[in-house]
Amino acid sequence: MDNSIRIKGQGRIKIGTAIFHNMSFQNWPHVIKPMCLSEHDKFFYETLTVKDPDMIFDVEWNGTVWRCTAPGFGYPEDSGTDFIVVRPFDGVELTEESKKDNHFVVVPCIEDIPDVHASIEDMHRPMFSLLNRMIDPTPKTYGLEEWDDTMSDPYEAVQRILSDNNNAIEWPVELQIYKPKDLGDDMVEIITRSILEDTLTYLDENFGDISGDLYSEPTDNMREAARAFSKIVVAEYVPMSCDFTGDIRVVTEEEYTKHTNKGDLKHEVIF
């Protein structure tokens, strides 16, 4: 399936589905309570069960995972708990209203999606590389050409524009979409050479020929291992510098108002 396909709507997380929530892997409807500071200044977590496992989330499929938000899960911003990430495509069931809405893209073939039935054990990977790739396979940021930086949330970018202009702006707002800078095809070889040169130089200086006239050459196995590591680094490293994609994100006043009004919702009793 084309990973560029996106789906937005409302839906339910199926009971028993593997989820990622507050830096922990669980099975819905088990979630992690926001971390608390104890009297001994230590952080701790508590696993809880949601009262209504059929609760409705705002869901978005980004081509790789579902991002699920609801009152108490991702908003209001001060709720203290994060949104839920669901990896299996069939782990979320859209509401009938969302299925009927003609601006939703319906994915035709579940079998075309790789690893949709991955277990929690399959999902365990180094934490930072997992977070870099799970939430969005191609992280996007938003901003204006004249800005020195960008923002990860389009609505926060609009809020910044409103603040900079004393709320006097023309709608809709057009935001430029940016992506992490492409490291280029040569970066694997550059990193591979650097690893081998730095490692062998260190070893020779500390454990090699005492005269300093002989230097070690990398073996084929060393080159293969260094190149394999370099490929992982290039694939999973997310640069902070960005390039303009050429695409524009249009935010209407109605959309922005609807989104910001979510922050006025009271934190529901969900546990």
CA distances from 69 to 13, 59, 62, 208, 263 (A): 11, 7, 14, 57, 12
Question: 53: domain range?
Answer: 7-137
Helix 220-236 to helix 127-134 angle (10° resolution) is 50
Q: Would 58 be classed as within a structural domain?
A: yes
Q: Are 221 and 195 in contact (CB under 8 A)?
A: no
Phi/psi for 233 (5° steps) reads -60, -50
Strands (E), 22-150: 24-27, 30-37, 43-49, 57-61, 66-71, 74-75, 84-86, 92-94, 141-143
Q: What is the pLDDT of residue 117?
A: 37
> How many domains would you assign to the chain?
2
- Whether 104 and 200 map to the same domain: the answer is no
Lowest-confidence pick of 28-37, 205-214, 233-242: 28-37
Amino acid, single-letter form, for residue 199? T
| 115 plus 231 within the same structural domain | no
232 and 123 housed in the same domain:
no
Same domain, 103 and 194: no
| In a shared domain, residues 22 and 131 | yes
**pLDDT tens-digit series, residues 99-149:** 775 444 444 433 333 343 343 334 333 333 444 444 455 678 899 999 988
Task: Give domain status of residue 230, yes or no.
Answer: yes
Q: Are residues 124 and 218 in the same domain?
A: no
pLDDT tens-digit profile of 138-193?
678 899 999 988 988 898 899 999 999 998 999 999 999 999 888 887 999 999 99
Same domain, 12 and 124: yes
For residues 39 and 120, membership in a common domain is answered with: yes
Per-residue pLDDT tens digits for 214-254: 789 999 999 999 999 999 898 888 888 889 999 999 999 99
pLDDT tens per residue across span 70-79: 888 876 655 5
Residue 179 forms part of a structural domain: no
